[in-house]
Structure 1
Amino acid sequence: MPHGPTHQPGAYEHHWSWQVRGACRSGGASLFFHPSGERGRAHEARDAAAKAVCAGCPVRLECRRHALEAREQYGVWGGLTEDERDRLLSRGLHRQPVA
């Protein structure tokens, strides 16, 4: 997700190489991960701004798939918030193709 090395070493590099093409890399992580205590309109506005970046991302589906498979607990990944991912996972929809 946001920031990090431009090259991930090791045998599992193919699992992570999509991250270097993420649209989120040009912004700060604070857009994708809410600060402690953020609520209401501020929270909704930040989530909407993060999702707007995700909407035009060339690796949105890979990111979303990763977040669901890894059960990422925090942040907007692939255009989905924590709550949206939780709902998909609780319904078992994460096993279906992600669109």
Structure 2
Amino acid sequence: MGSVNDRYAWQDQSACRGTDLPAFTSHRQPGRRALAAATAICGRCPVRLECGEDALTDPTFTVGIWGGYYLGGGQYSRARAESVAALRAQSAAAREHAQ
């Protein structure tokens, strides 16, 4: 069984690593410009799907932008549900394509 560090090794390759955009970690829903800037970074990220998968499976990933989607707190539960559904569809398609 891999260590916790192995599980999150993908973070070393993330396009957002080292950025200071608060949209990635904010407890507030980001504004349009901040969201656009963050999702543009996610769009070119080589580990976007790994990031999104961890956001879906790790309960500590509760706020911010993960895998190109805003996963906000309870007041944004509809947006989170839509983001989760989109990430799952992309992950399933990627796995199917890899086979």
Deviates more, 1:12-21 or 1:27-36: 27-36
Aligned to 1:25: 17
Q: Does 1:45 align with 2:33?
A: yes
**TM-score computed with the length of structure 1 as normaliser:** 0.65
**TM-score computed with the length of structure 2 as normaliser:** 0.65
The amino acid of 2:34's aligned partner reads R
Aligned to 1:55: 43
Partners of 1:65 and 1:98 within 8 A in 2: no
Q: Does 1:73 align with 2:62?
A: yes
Runs (5+) with no aligned partner, structure 2: 95-99
Partners of 2:70 and 2:83 within 8 A in 1: no
- Summarize the alignment of residues 4-23 of structure 1 with structure 2, pairs less than 5 Å apart: 11-23=3-15
The count of residues paired between Structure 1 and Structure 2 equals 84
- After superposition, give the CA deviation of every residue in 1:47-89 in whole Å (9 maximum; x if it has no partner): 1110000000011010011001124221001101125433355
- Structure 1 vs Structure 2 CA RMSD: 2.9
Runs (5+) with no aligned partner, structure 1: 1-9
Partners of 1:69 and 1:94 within 8 A in 2: no
2:81 to 63, 70, 86: 86
